[in-house]
Structure 1
Amino acid sequence: MQTQLTALLEQARAELLTLKARPEFEAAKARYVGPNGALTACMKQMGGLPKEQKPIVGKLINEVKTALAAELDATLARIEAAELDAQLGPPIDPTLPSPDDHEGLRHPLTQTRDLIAATFRKLGFVIAEGPELESEWFCFDALNTPDDHPARDMQDTLYFPPATRATETTKKADEAYVLRPHTSSVQIRTMLARKPPIRIVAPGRCFRRDTVDATHSANFHQIEGLWVDRNVTVRDLKSVLDSFVREIFGATAQTRLRPSFFPFTEPSFEMDIKAPNLGRLSDRWLEIMGCGLVDPKVFKNVDIDPEQWTGLAFGMGIERIAMLIHGIDDIRHFYANDLRFLRQFA
């Protein structure tokens, strides 16, 4: 029996080395370990052996079975690798020039963000950044947002589990943590870290519990501005934003401020624009941002004396500006990674 098993294993090894295709492999596997296979026949002979030989022969059969299984696995892996190579085609020479002649390009949202930032740099603003994980103090309390304000509801803001702790953002004992719903928190961090005068814009990614549609996304981008100095007035606010609008939308663009309400500014406004070069939205008043003068309560929260310093603040959606500039009617295009769309901005 030992000679028979050894010969069977050697025969199987020799045959498996010659196999090139899966049907040949399956046929060979059946001849050796199938219901009518050679190894199966040897195992059936165990019943006719003397009792004292059964443990010895059983051990030999198990050894051959294990070795044969390993040979079958190796053969199948070799055949599968060959099939994959055949599907992939001939090897690629990495030293050859790429057949794709398209150069890389910046995403249209990145282009719009940089355009907005460059416009405000001309007006003396610098870039400021902050973390996307924030505490409710930085996002709401410091911005004079009441506890019962709808923006603090879990239906609008993405909260972390109650056990979450992030020491660098903690400002009160029982602190909740959120994915920031706006970049206004960067304004608070900047006023805590620097003394006035301050002139910053803060671009960044924000998160809200919005239902995704043509004009809303749960993940979007904002850029907010802050100017703190002595004797900053609504006239300064209008002048800064007029300069921005005419730089982005052309010298013929018109602007207007409509009274509104935000907890962190007083007075507060919505800014509308009207321009002749916006396609089907041309010559129509369109809301593009919120703005106002910084509320004195916000200054007190960051230890700035509102009797000595005043300030203006504004914020806009980068997607909103990009859609107006390029005539895009669906915000979802920005996130679809469709090269046909993205290459239009090369």
Structure 2
Amino acid sequence: MTNQPSSLEAQLLTLRQEGESAIAASDNLERLEELRVSYLGKKGQLGLLLRTMGKLSAEERPKVGAVANTVKEAIQTALEKQRESLEAAKIQAQLEAETIDVTMPGIYRPQGRIHPLNGIIDRALDIFVGLGYTVASGPEMETDYYNFEALNTPLDHPARDMQDTFYLPDGNLLRTHTSSVQIRFMEAEEPPIRIIAPGRVYRRDNVDSTHAAVFHQLELLAVDEGLTFTDLKGTIKEFLQQMFGELPIRFRASYFPFTEPSAEVDLQWNGRWLEVMGCGMVDPNVLKAVGYDPEVYTGFAAGFGVERFAMVLHQLDDIRRVYTSDLRFLRQF
């Protein structure tokens, strides 16, 4: 007579068959994990069957135990094989979804260009940073003190007429120059200092081909012991030569309320003299206003309009062209 499998042994074999079929039919990793817990978990079907082994005879237990191990290994093998298959399919689907057809034309995005004003500012800053200057900035909305009074221009000073600006209801104003940045920087720092301050400024100018009510300025300031007008001339000469090349330069006596002595700087361009900068030694009253001792420290300052440099270097006929955002104009740069 052949030995017939016990009831528990038969249940184990049935469980294996059902498990392998269910695992093979699973189509995602989440379902596969549910089957693993269902068959092999602490409260899974295999565990529940094994808990009944205590009812078997001593002769049946080893045989049923061997079958149970075989069933467990078979289900684990089926799970691992199906997991590898599903993971491979998932990766393949992702690769197919993310595949790029390199033969298709790309999305064209035209390359941007540096605006002519930003280009001038960047060139100037590179030169002065190379000379040891630090870039400084300040607010465009200023108080009367920082824009005028601290720069030796009291309320009744006639020089204010040259820099009439836009006043706000709260008593503040839109700065007429970036010299206010110099005052704020000197109040916060002790000499020696060397700064370059670019920024937008405002004046009540009538708009025409060479003037605008809103424009850009770049000013430099150096304060230290023993600085002279010779240092100022050498700095400006080096800057202009790097900016324009080896061209004749001249200094003409001029007037600014915050420098003494003061000068205008001319550059010989295409056979004629062009005024390009203003400069001078910092007035002792300005040094006193920020708490510097003018008997110990001296300084020099200079500034220029960015638009003027752009008009010269790019041979522009009208300052308004740099503000209109006309692509026909801007694409030339």
For the aligned pair, the TM-score class normalised by the smaller chain equals 0.5 to 0.7
What residue number does 1:222 align with?
Answer: 217
1:226–1:314: 8 Å Cα contact kept in structure 2? yes
Summarize the alignment of residues 309-328 of structure 1 with structure 2, pairs less than 5 Å apart: 309-328=297-316
Alignment of 1:263 with 2:271, yes or no, is no
Q: Distance in 1 between matches of 2:130 and 2:321?
A: 30
User: How far is the alpha carbon of 1:283 from its aligned partner?
Assistant: 1.7
Q: Distance in 2 between matches of 1:219 and 1:139?
A: 16
User: How far is the alpha carbon of 1:153 from its aligned partner?
Assistant: 5.0
User: How far is the alpha carbon of 1:293 from its aligned partner?
Assistant: 0.2
Q: Distance in 1 between matches of 2:267 and 2:325?
A: 30
Amino acid across the alignment from 1:338:
D
Instruction: Indicate how the Cα distance of structure 1 residues 137 and 131 shifts in structure 2: closer, same or farther if over 3 A, else same.
Output: same
- Secondary structure of 2:309 counterpart: helix
Alignment of 1:133 with 2:141, yes or no, is yes
- Secondary structure of 2:243 counterpart: helix
State the identity as a percent: 55
Q: Distance in 2 between matches of 1:154 and 1:259?
A: 18
2:163–2:176: 8 Å Cα contact kept in structure 1? no
- Secondary structure of 1:268 counterpart: strand
**Which of the residues 296, 300, 305 maps onto 2:288?**
300
**Which of the residues 148, 152, 175 maps onto 1:144?**
152
Amino acid across the alignment from 2:213:
A
2:217–2:305: 8 Å Cα contact kept in structure 1? yes
User: How far is the alpha carbon of 1:122 from its aligned partner?
Assistant: 1.4
Alignment of 1:159 with 2:167, yes or no, is yes
- Secondary structure of 1:227 counterpart: strand
Amino acid across the alignment from 2:107:
S
Q: Distance in 1 between matches of 2:175 and 2:154?
A: 17
What residue number does 2:185 align with?
Answer: 190
Q: Gaps spanning 5+ residues in structure 1: where?
A: 1-94, 165-175, 276-281
1:151–1:157: 8 Å Cα contact kept in structure 2? no
Amino acid across the alignment from 1:98:
I
1:183–1:203: 8 Å Cα contact kept in structure 2? yes
* TM-score (normalizing by structure 2): 0.67
Q: Distance in 1 between matches of 2:188 and 2:332?
A: 41
Q: Distance in 1 between matches of 2:162 and 2:235?
A: 35
- Secondary structure of 2:142 counterpart: strand
Query: Which of structure 1's runs of 4+ aligned residues deviate more than 6 A?
Result: none
Q: Gaps spanning 5+ residues in structure 2: where?
A: 1-103
Alignment of 1:288 with 2:282, yes or no, is no
Q: Distance in 2 between matches of 1:329 and 1:228?
A: 37
What residue number does 1:207 align with?
Answer: 202
Amino acid across the alignment from 2:187:
L
Alignment of 1:115 with 2:115, yes or no, is no
1:150–1:156: 8 Å Cα contact kept in structure 2? no
* TM-score (normalizing by structure 1): 0.64
Amino acid across the alignment from 1:145:
T
Q: Distance in 1 between matches of 2:235 and 2:211?
A: 27
2:159–2:257: 8 Å Cα contact kept in structure 1? no
User: How far is the alpha carbon of 1:195 from its aligned partner?
Assistant: 0.3
Summarize the alignment of residues 11-90 of structure 1 with structure 2, pairs less than 5 Å apart: none
Query: What value does the CA root-mean-square deviation take over the aligned residues?
Result: 1.7
- Secondary structure of 2:123 counterpart: helix
User: How far is the alpha carbon of 1:329 from its aligned partner?
Assistant: 1.5
- Secondary structure of 1:203 counterpart: strand
User: How far is the alpha carbon of 1:154 from its aligned partner?
Assistant: 11
Q: Distance in 2 between matches of 1:152 and 1:237?
A: 25
Instruction: Indicate how the Cα distance of structure 1 residues 153 and 292 shifts in structure 2: closer, same or farther if over 3 A, else same.
Output: closer
1:206–1:221: 8 Å Cα contact kept in structure 2? yes
